[in-house]
């Protein structure tokens, strides 16, 4: 190239402003994302940056706590919106305004709460945990992602992974139970399901780990309240699921409402900056929960929305969901020198990174599609049915009364028998009650004709005191060979802002059970609920109890399959059922008492009614003696423990083997036992299968201290599987 051209080119390049030169890069789909982010950021004004950190809503809104808005009121440069429509047109119209009316044409990212399905609704997450099938849960999340993305949603505010041990709290329904490891496994499975290998596909969405952190420790099960969490408990109980979710690549995290021992999670520098963005090197977006910035004022942590915004951005919160604190005060805070521009830039950087990763600059609009292309495909409904089947837990089966023998006349009694809405559970997304197969319909389809084999009476409502239906229920039961009693909770009794002072069913339902017991007919109790229940009075009245949870659209079909024996139940509890409300909190991974033989309640048992990990099958499994590849290992060694499990019954069955670790003596006291691995396999009648736990001492035997530092100490460890144990010495 001759000298003149070189000089000319250099002169031209020098003349171009950095913005102009760079401005070509953010639009270049082949340029590295980080370069595109920096280029675009360098072009933005402070006002444009602030809008990227502001989130509102658009479209009709179904969550009574939150209110929707219309396109005209929404600034073209807004960063994100919660999208309540279930079709893409409104989103595309709003996106067109963003792409064509804003100076830089930055696309909006649209979020929504698809917690356990978008339109094809799956069992509530607490139920999914009882299925112990993360790969199936991952498939369900992938379907939810596809339905959401095709409907205009790029980002789901899911999974909820708050360890919870107080079933008075309505939100236990939304998480994966009382165990940190279990919540972590399902967090990672959900992230894989939602985000896939590349978030910029037409069928993936960004995941959001929530509610960071410790929300499940809400005092007395009330919602939005104070949580007393020591640093030790923060690290050994509430943070582990988030660490597993971040390691799985979660794109976003949502800060929680709760006050963590004096510092609300939404403005918690240690949690947001030091741990999440620092130690874990999380490079995604932290969004607040609904109005959580504004709520710092009633929490007594800020005197104004401006101060709340200052504390939130400085703590590392990137997006302000609907408080309008960042919108109204952030620019002023920067101009007055209270907030360094670098901190605003870092938040905007993360938001832009998310949008590039989602492919929104290349594909800002959602292609149109028909409802039948989007929703309720047969293969997706089949996943819902399988997940529901595997999530149901057989709690009692006296004299093997189940499965029901053919030809029996069945009286389906109770307020849940023909109910559809309640089976969707809380956070039903775009789910519709008419999509749900009721227990009645499921039984009719399973048993087929003649109808004389299936009788029905409602008996009573879910609550109140009206016993006028009891007479009919008694009469119908009198004509039957067996009563299938269908009880449980309304959809609104669990989920957000749904705490209950007792976990017992309303009195009227218990009285209906007593009436049925007086008929002398055997009773199979079906429970559909969003939390563990107090069953100490009802349990003795029933011959069998099947916990069906809130199974989603599959509803009654898996129930009927289990009752008739087409399906062998395999669910195991991921959350303890207390004997009574008075025992709360009661959970498996508690610390040891100072006196193992004293300190019990004087008036009731101190044992729960059904423990974590409990669940019956129609067959029986026998565990062999566990064997280890070594019984003494070094701290950096490894060991594999194996066990053989034999199906000693007459039904093929699926068994989930839980592997627990106990560290009887440690510098920091440990729970009596901790779940560290689980595996599920089908074992045919008479067959024996092998299960293995590959132990990494630091990961599986070690513990964290109050700073998050992980240790493994020399000493003896006990590995428990089934009723068997084996000791491992770490040198």
* Residues labelled catalytic: 289
Binding span for ligand GLC by CB under 6 A among 63-71, 432-440, 516-524, 551-559: 63-71
Report in angstroms the alpha-carbon separations of 107 from 32, 81, 357: 18, 11, 12
Binding span for ligand GLC by CB under 6 A among 59-67, 132-140, 393-401, 469-477: 59-67
State which of residues 26, 110, 132, 157 lies at the interface with ligand GLC (CB under 6 A). 157
Site string for ligand GLC, 484-503 (x = CB under 6 A): ------------x-------
> What whole-number distance in Å separates Cα of residue 413 and Cα of residue 454?
10
Task: Please give the distance of CA 101 from its chain centroid, rounded to a whole number.
Answer: 38
Least gap, CB of 263 to ligand GLC (angstroms): 19
Least gap, CB of 208 to ligand GLC (angstroms): 7
Least gap, CB of 182 to ligand GLC (angstroms): 20
Site string for ligand GLC, 547-586 (x = CB under 6 A): ----------------------------------------
Between 212 and 356, name the residue whose CB sits nearer to ligand GLC: 212
Task: Please give the distance of CA 501 from its chain centroid, rounded to a whole number.
Answer: 23
DSSP string, 688-705: EEEEEEEE-IIIII-EE-
User: Which sign does the torsion angle of CA 677, 580, 414, 431 carry?
Assistant: negative
Residues in Cβ contact with 563 at an 8 Å cutoff, skipping those fewer than 6 apart: 402, 403, 404, 443, 446, 484, 524, 546
DSSP string, 41-89: HHH--HHHHHHHTEEEEES----TTS----GGGS-TT--EEEE--SSSH
Task: Decide: is 66 part of the binding site for ligand GLC (CB under 6 A).
Answer: yes
Q: 641: which strand partners?
A: 628, 693
Between 160 and 563, name the residue whose CB sits nearer to ligand GLC: 160
Strands in 568-687 per DSSP E: 621-623, 627-628, 632-633, 639-647, 653-662, 674-683
Between 265 and 567, name the residue whose CB sits nearer to ligand GLC: 265
Least gap, CB of 654 to ligand GLC (angstroms): 32
Least gap, CB of 498 to ligand GLC (angstroms): 12
Least gap, CB of 111 to ligand GLC (angstroms): 8
* SS3 category, 306: helix
Task: Decide: is 65 part of the binding site for ligand GLC (CB under 6 A).
Answer: yes
Interaction with ligand GLC in 349-388: which residues (CB under 6 A)?
A: none
Binding span for ligand GLC by CB under 6 A among 60-68, 243-251, 428-436, 499-507: 60-68
Least gap, CB of 63 to ligand GLC (angstroms): 6
Interaction with ligand GLC in 204-223: which residues (CB under 6 A)?
A: 210
Task: Decide: is 61 part of the binding site for ligand GLC (CB under 6 A).
Answer: no
Between 462 and 493, name the residue whose CB sits nearer to ligand GLC: 493
Least gap, CB of 289 to ligand GLC (angstroms): 5
Interaction with ligand GLC in 283-342: which residues (CB under 6 A)?
A: 289-290
8 A C-beta contact, residue 348 and residue 52:
yes
**Among the listed residues 730, 588, 650, 693, the one whose alpha carbon sits nearest the alpha carbon of residue 165:** 588
State which of residues 113, 236, 543, 700 lies at the interface with ligand GLC (CB under 6 A). 113
**Among the listed residues 152, 143, 74, the one whose alpha carbon sits nearest the alpha carbon of residue 112:** 152
Q: 155: which strand partners?
A: 111, 206
Task: Decide: is 343 part of the binding site for ligand GLC (CB under 6 A).
Answer: no
8 A C-beta contact, residue 116 and residue 140:
yes
According to DSSP, residue 237 is labeled I
Task: Please give the distance of CA 188 from its chain centroid, rounded to a whole number.
Answer: 11
Least gap, CB of 326 to ligand GLC (angstroms): 17
Rounded to 5 degrees, φ, ψ at 717 are -125, 150
8 A C-beta contact, residue 199 and residue 356:
no
Binding span for ligand GLC by CB under 6 A among 58-66, 273-281, 416-424, 609-617: 58-66
How many Cβ atoms are within 10 Å of 619's Cβ, its own excluded? 20
**Among the listed residues 148, 161, 225, the one whose alpha carbon sits nearest the alpha carbon of residue 188:** 161
How many Cβ atoms are within 10 Å of 292's Cβ, its own excluded? 29
Between 294 and 386, name the residue whose CB sits nearer to ligand GLC: 294
Between 80 and 580, name the residue whose CB sits nearer to ligand GLC: 80
> What whole-number distance in Å separates Cα of residue 124 and Cα of residue 111?
20
Between 83 and 703, name the residue whose CB sits nearer to ligand GLC: 83
> What whole-number distance in Å separates Cα of residue 724 and Cα of residue 70?
61
Classify residue 30 by burial, with Cβ atoms within 10 Å: 0-12, 13-18, 19+.
Answer: exposed
Per rule CB under 6 A, count of chain residues that contact ligand GLC: 9
* SS3 category, 388: helix
Between 158 and 519, name the residue whose CB sits nearer to ligand GLC: 158
| Maximum alpha-carbon separation in the chain | 105
Task: Decide: is 181 part of the binding site for ligand GLC (CB under 6 A).
Answer: no
How many Cβ atoms are within 10 Å of 287's Cβ, its own excluded? 29
Between 63 and 261, name the residue whose CB sits nearer to ligand GLC: 63
Task: Please give the distance of CA 404 from its chain centroid, rounded to a whole number.
Answer: 34
Between 254 and 358, name the residue whose CB sits nearer to ligand GLC: 254
User: Which sign does the torsion angle of CA 348, 351, 353, 356 carry?
Assistant: negative
Binding span for ligand GLC by CB under 6 A among 12-20, 62-70, 368-376, 441-449: 62-70
Least gap, CB of 210 to ligand GLC (angstroms): 6
Least gap, CB of 419 to ligand GLC (angstroms): 25
Between 114 and 129, name the residue whose CB sits nearer to ligand GLC: 114
Between 499 and 647, name the residue whose CB sits nearer to ligand GLC: 499
Site string for ligand GLC, 387-406 (x = CB under 6 A): --------------------
Least gap, CB of 363 to ligand GLC (angstroms): 25
Interface with ligand GLC (CB under 6 A): 63, 65-66, 113, 157, 210, 289-290, 496
């Amino acid at each position: 190239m001759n000298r003149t051209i070189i000089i000319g080119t250099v002169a031209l390049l020098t003349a171009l402003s950095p913005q102009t030169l760079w401005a070509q890069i953010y639009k270049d789909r082949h340029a590295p994302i980080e370069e595109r982010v920096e280029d675009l950021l360098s072009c933005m004004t402070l006002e444009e940056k602030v809008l990227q950190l502001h989130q509102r809503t658009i479209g009709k809104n179904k969550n009574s706590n939150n209110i929707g808005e219309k396109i005209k009121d929404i600034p073209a440069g807004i960063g994100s919106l919660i999208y309540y429509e279930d079709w893409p047109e409104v989103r595309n119209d709003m996106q067109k305004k963003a792409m064509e009316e804003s100076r830089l044409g930055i696309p909006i990212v649209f979020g929504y709460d698809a917690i356990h399905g978008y339109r094809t609704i799956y069992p509530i997450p607490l139920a999914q945990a009882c299925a112990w099938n993360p790969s199936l849960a991952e498939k369900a999340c992938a379907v939810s992602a596809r339905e959401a993305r095709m409907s205009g949603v790029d980002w789901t505010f899911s999974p909820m992974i708050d360890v919870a041990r107080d079933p008075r709290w309505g939100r236990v329904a939304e998480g994966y139970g009382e165990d940190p490891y279990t919540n972590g496994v399902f967090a990672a499975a959900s992230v894989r399901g939602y985000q896939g290998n590349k978030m910029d596909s037409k069928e993936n969405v960004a995941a959001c780990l929530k509610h960071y952190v410790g929300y499940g420790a809400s005092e007395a099960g009330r919602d939005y309240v104070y949580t007393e969490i020591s640093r030790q408990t923060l690290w050994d109980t509430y943070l582990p699921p988030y660490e597993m979710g971040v390691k799985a690549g979660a794109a976003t995290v949502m800060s929680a409402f709760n006050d963590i021992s004096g510092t609300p999670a939404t403005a918690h520098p240690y949690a947001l900056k030091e741990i999440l963005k620092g130690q874990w090197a999380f490079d995604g977006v932290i969004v607040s929960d609904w109005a959580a910035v504004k709520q710092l004022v009633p929490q007594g942590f800020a005197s104004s929305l401006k101060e709340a915004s200052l504390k939130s951005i400085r703590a590392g919160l990137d997006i302000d969901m609907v408080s309008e604190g960042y919108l109204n005060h952030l620019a002023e805070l920067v101009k007055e020198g209270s907030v360094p521009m670098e901190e605003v830039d870092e938040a905007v950087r993360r938001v832009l990174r998310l949008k590039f990763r989602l492919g929104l600059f290349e594909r800002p609009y959602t292609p149109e599609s028909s409802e039948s292309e989007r929703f309720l495909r047969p293969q997706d409904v089949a996943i819902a049915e399988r997940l529901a089947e595997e999530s149901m837990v057989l709690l009692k089966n006296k004299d093997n009364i189940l499965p029901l023998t053919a030809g029996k006349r069945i009286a389906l009694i109770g307020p849940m028998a023909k109910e559809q809405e309640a089976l969707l559970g809380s956070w039903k997304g775009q789910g519709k009650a008419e999509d749900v197969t009721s227990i009645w319909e499921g039984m009719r389809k399973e048993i087929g004709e003649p109808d004389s084999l299936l009788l029905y009476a409602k008996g009573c409502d879910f609550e109140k005191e009206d016993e006028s239906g009891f007479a009919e229920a008694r009469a119908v039961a009198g004509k039957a060979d067996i009563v299938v009693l269908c009880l449980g909770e309304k959809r609104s009794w669990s989920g957000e802002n749904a705490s209950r002072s007792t976990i017992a069913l309303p009195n009227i339902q218990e009285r209906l059970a007593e009436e049925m017991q007086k008929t002398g007919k055997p009773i199979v109790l079906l429970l559909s609920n969003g939390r563990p229940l107090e069953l100490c009075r009802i349990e003795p009245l029933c011959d069998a109890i099947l916990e069906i949870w809130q199974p989603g659209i599959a509803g009654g079909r898996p129930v009927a399959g289990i009752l008739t024996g087409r399906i062998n139940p395999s669910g195991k509890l991921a959350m303890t059922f207390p004997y009574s409300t008075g025992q709360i909190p009661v959970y498996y991974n508690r610390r040891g008492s100072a006196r193992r033989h004293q300190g019990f309640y004087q008036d009731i048992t101190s044992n729960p009614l059904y423990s974590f990990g409990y669940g019956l099958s129609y067959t029986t499994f026998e565990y062999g003696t566990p064997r280890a590849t070594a019984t003494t290992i070094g701290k950096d060694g490894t060991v594999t423990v194996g066990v053989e499990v034999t199906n000693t019954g007459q039904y093929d069955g699926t068994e989930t083997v839980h592997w627990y670790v106990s560290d009887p003596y440690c510098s920091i006291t440990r729970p009596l036992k901790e779940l560290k691995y689980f595996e599920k396999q089908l074992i045919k009648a008479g067959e024996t299968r092998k299960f293995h736990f590959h132990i990494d001492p630091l990961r599986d035997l070690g513990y964290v201290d109050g700073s998050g530092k992980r240790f493994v100490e020399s000493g003896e460890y006990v590995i428990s599987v089934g009723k068997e144990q084996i000791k491992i010495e770490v040198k």
